[in-house]
Amino acid sequence: RMIRKGQKPHLSQLPPPLKANGLKSNHPMYRKFKEAEATHLESHKETQSWTEVPARKARE
């Protein structure tokens, strides 16, 4: 609620950080993380600083 009102919450008021095994859809800030991720990736496309590669090629 604080974020929606434009207030910055204190670290002690935030939900627990994400674990190494990835983002879970039941995390309280799941939607915000996904929105930020999409915005970030879109900025790479706009500046042409990122391209998608097949997973097989990425492992080489």
Q: For 1-58, give the DSSP string.
A: -TTTTTPPPPGGGSPPPPBTTB--TTSTTHHHHHHHHHHHHHHHHHHT------HHHH
Query: Looking at residues 23-49, what average pLDDT do you find?
Result: 86
Query: Looking at residues 16-28, what average pLDDT do you find?
Result: 73
How far apart are alpha carbons 33 and 27 in whole angstroms? 10
Query: Looking at residues 10-39, what average pLDDT do you find?
Result: 81
The conformation of residue 13, written as its DSSP 8-state character, comes to: G
Please check the confidence at residue 20 and state whether its pLDDT lies above 70.
Answer: no
Query: Looking at residues 26-34, what average pLDDT do you find?
Result: 85
What pLDDT is recorded for position 52?
A: 79
50 neighbors 44 (Cβ within 8 angstroms): yes
